[in-house]
């Protein structure tokens, strides 16, 4: 296992192209493959003391690469799922943040809308402060993601997680509550 900077340079020169080809073979773009190779070497530097020599160094590096690739794939899947959920959820609200399904036509429309608002407010009590704030900033106030991130002091990814969890909990609560009326 390389210890000196010269040995490390040799390791990087020897394995960059095979690791890059391995990342491309996993279906990643060239830019993602480059990032995965860099992440692999960074993880190697952190984990090299744990390398016990039960496999070759090449196998150890490819194990790191495949784990990093799996992490990236899971992250992208979560982001895509969150974006799909956001799009589906956004289709349920109008531009003013009113739930479209809660606006039936007819003489009882206002009473039903009030009932839905009441149930939604009660369901929102079950959210964490951050989830409730993120949800109402985005859905009721119409804040941009950037504005909501600034108010909450979170990253865009964290905001998406907060919104995803808030929407799931609200949907579950609304479904339970609506069925009990």
Q: Name the average pLDDT for the chain.
A: 79
Structural domains present in the chain:
5-87 (1.10.1740.10), 95-179 (1.10.10.10)
Helix ranges, the chain (H): 5-25, 30-47, 57-90, 109-124, 129-135, 145-152, 156-179
Q: Name the pLDDT band for 102 (thresholds 50, 70, 90).
A: very low
Report the chain's C-alpha Rg in angstroms.
24
Contacts for 160 with CB less than 8 Å, ≥ 6 apart? 79, 82, 83, 86
pLDDT for 1 equals 47
pLDDT for 157 equals 94
Residue 162: which of 122, 124, 125, 135 has the closest Cα?
Answer: 135
* Residue 2 DSSP label: -
Q: Which residue has the higher pLDDT, 16 or 140?
A: 16
Q: Which residue has the higher pLDDT, 119 or 131?
A: 131
CA distance 136 to 124: 9
CA distance 118 to 111: 11
What are the pLDDT digits (tens) for 59-68?
Answer: 888 888 888 9
Contact present, 94 and 118 (Cβ < 8 Å): no
What are the pLDDT digits (tens) for 116-126?
Answer: 777 777 888 88
What are the pLDDT digits (tens) for 34-54?
Answer: 999 999 999 999 988 887 777
Contact present, 32 and 26 (Cβ < 8 Å): no
Beta bridge partners of 99: 93
Residue whose token pair is 């830019």: 31
Residue 102: which of 120, 87, 121, 84 has the closest Cα?
Answer: 120
Q: Which residue has the higher pLDDT, 56 or 112?
A: 56
Residue whose token pair is 């479904």: 175
Q: Name the pLDDT band for 108 (thresholds 50, 70, 90).
A: low
pTM: 0.45
CA distance 69 to 63: 10
What are the pLDDT digits (tens) for 84-101?
Answer: 555 555 556 665 555 555
pLDDT for 12 equals 92
| CA distance to 13, 95, 145, 153, 159, per residue, from 131 (Å) | 47, 20, 14, 13, 9
């Amino acid at each position: 296992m390389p210890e000196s900077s010269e040995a490390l340079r040799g390791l990087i020169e020897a394995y960059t192209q095979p690791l890059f080809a391995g990342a491309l073979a996993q279906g990643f773009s060239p830019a993602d493959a480059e990032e995965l190779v860099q992440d692999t070497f960074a993880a190697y530097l952190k984990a090299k003391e744990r390398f016990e020599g039960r496999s070759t160094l090449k196998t150890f590096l490819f194990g790191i690469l495949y784990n990093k690739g799996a992490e990236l794939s899971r992250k992208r899947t979560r982001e895509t799922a969150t974006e799909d959920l956001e799009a589906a959820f956004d289709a349920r609200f109008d531009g003013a943040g009113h739930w479209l399904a809660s606006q039936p036509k007819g003489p009882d429309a206002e009473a039903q809308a009030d009932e839905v608002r009441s149930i939604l407010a009660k369901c929102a009590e079950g959210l964490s402060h951050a989830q409730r704030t993120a949800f109402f900033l985005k859905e009721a106030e119409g804040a941009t993601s950037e504005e909501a991130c600034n108010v909450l002091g979170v990253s865009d990814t964290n905001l998406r997680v907060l919104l995803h969890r808030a929407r799931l909990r609200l949907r579950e609560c609304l479904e339970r509550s609506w069925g009990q009326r």
